[in-house]
Amino acid sequence: MEDIILLKQGEIVLKGQNRRTFEARLMANAKRRLQKFGDFRVYATQSTVYVEPKTKDCDMDGALDAMTKVFGAVTVTRARACEKDKDKIFETAKSYLSEDMRGAKSFKVETKRSDKQFPMTSIEVSQYVGGLLSESFPDTAVDVHEPELIVHVEIRETSAYVYAKPLLGAGGLPVGSNGRAVTLLSGGIDSPVSSYMIARRGIQLIPVHFFSFPYTSEQAKEKVIELARILTDYCGRLTVEIVPFTHIQEEIREKCPEEYFTLIMRRFMMRISEKIAMQNDCRALVTGENLGQVASQTMEALRVTEEPLSLPVLRPLIGMDKSDIISLARKIGTFETSILPYEDCCTVFTPRHPRTKPKLEEVLEVEKVLDVEALEAEAIAGIERLRLDI
């Protein structure tokens, strides 16, 4: 039999009567990611999604890597299927894992027997296969306590599966299983990480980027688009909404006290993002804000910036250390792009002494000099939309 990829479900198994809905979403997401790697059959049984190549020219390495980035699976394994016969299982393990066996100093066999009609217990299968493997690879010792290599055997409804070294999956819940949200995507380190974390909870994202040409360059916009492209590996296809923000920032600079620049700018971002959210049936906004990291992220400032909203604001990074955020950015592949020296609109007209503990009534009074509705309508009318696929 040919190789197959197994995706072990995580939280989905806890969903009770809703489980099939989450499982269907996971399979649909997997199928979409697999399209460029060949023709695959994707189906689920016994808390596992099976990815089975229909033709011999399928790119199994590419498919395996893609599946490690699909939210909803806790482990991803490339396995060899065989008949449910003890000797077939041994022969498959011997041939399929020969390189692994020769490269390890010690091993053991672990068996899971989902098919209770199989005539041997899990322990009996492990002992039988392990004994024959020990004879076939005499330089690899049996160690049931701390083996260097674990040979996995699974006996399921239709076949037995043999594999070693399962890969860590992306975990979480399938994208799209928990609704939609707008995520504010800048060119920094934080917002791509916050987008990833919320997508991991099953939320389909619409990234919104605020662009202030000529104060920020075309390279800055391309940097954000590249960050969104990286996120598609995890989030699936995305449509980035690029909002022209120059006129709003110029109006703020001209008419408002400098110490309020950032606060009023953030309030505009929130209101515009909420309007985009309403247009796209979204239920929340997502930001990369982190408590106390900058002047606009004190508790008082956060209260002021979210005051105009009716939708909730999700802030997955709110209590994280910067080192933890950077570590996650490196893991998902956004860090090197985020640190490219092209700044976004948040650095335009930065006040020398920003208000860190603003009072809402003061900000509302300062904001009165601006034609908020007209400025927002102008920005929304000028939105550029860019669709990114996986």
Give the CATH number of the domain where residue 252 resides. Answer: 3.40.50.620
Under the banding of pLDDT at 50, 70 and 90, the label for residue 354 is confident
More confident residue, 112 or 356: 112
What pLDDT, on a 0 to 100 scale, did the predictor assign at position 1?
A: 59
What pLDDT, on a 0 to 100 scale, did the predictor assign at position 348?
A: 67
Q: Are residues 145 and 259 in the same domain?
A: no
Tokens of 349: 């007209």
What pLDDT, on a 0 to 100 scale, did the predictor assign at position 40?
A: 96
Domain end call among 168, 203, 226: 168
- Full-model pTM: 0.90
Tell me: pLDDT of 347 over 80: no
For residue 346, give the amino acid letter: C
What pLDDT, on a 0 to 100 scale, did the predictor assign at position 351?
A: 72
Give residue-wise pLDDT tens across range 10-62: 899 888 888 999 999 999 999 999 999 999 999 998 888 999 999 999 999 99
Under the banding of pLDDT at 50, 70 and 90, the label for residue 250 is very high
Q: Looking only at Cα atoms, what is the longest distance across the chain?
A: 85
Q: How many CB atoms lie within 10 A of CB 211?
A: 21
Q: Terminus-to-terminus CA distance in the chain, angstroms?
A: 30
Which whole number is the average pLDDT over 116-130?
96
Q: Are residues 205 and 319 in the same domain?
A: yes
Which whole number is the average pLDDT over 270-286?
97
Three-state DSSP state, 387: strand
For residues 187 and 344, give the distance between their C-alpha atoms in angstroms, rounded to a whole number. 6
Q: Are residues 265 and 155 in the same domain?
A: no
Domain end call among 131, 148, 168: 168
Q: How many CB atoms lie within 10 A of CB 24?
A: 13
Residue 223 sits at the vertex; the CA angle it makes with 172 and 265, to the nearest 5 degrees, is 85
Q: Are residues 263 and 358 in the same domain?
A: yes
Cβ contact 145:173 at 8 Å: no
* Average pLDDT over the chain, rounded to an integer: 93
Q: Are residues 146 and 270 in the same domain?
A: no
What pLDDT, on a 0 to 100 scale, did the predictor assign at position 359?
A: 93
| Domain enclosing residue 359, as ranges | 180-388
Domain end call among 168, 197, 223: 168
Tokens of 1: 């039999």
Give residue-wise pLDDT tens across range 177-205: 999 999 999 989 999 999 999 999 999 99
Give residue-wise pLDDT tens across range 286-310: 999 998 888 778 899 999 999 999 9
Question: Does residue 174 fall inside a structural domain?
Answer: no
Domain total in the chain: 2
For residues 316 and 38, give the distance between their C-alpha atoms in angstroms, rounded to a whole number. 36
Which H or E element spans position 91? Answer: helix 86-96
Q: Are residues 124 and 193 in the same domain?
A: no
Which whole number is the average pLDDT over 310-321?
96
Question: Does residue 173 fall inside a structural domain?
Answer: no
For residue 227, give the amino acid letter: L
Tell me: pLDDT of 234 over 80: yes
Give residue-wise pLDDT tens across range 362-384: 999 999 999 999 999 999 999 99
Under the banding of pLDDT at 50, 70 and 90, the label for residue 328 is very high
Question: Does residue 9 fall inside a structural domain?
Answer: yes
- What percentage of the chain exceeds 90 in pLDDT? 84
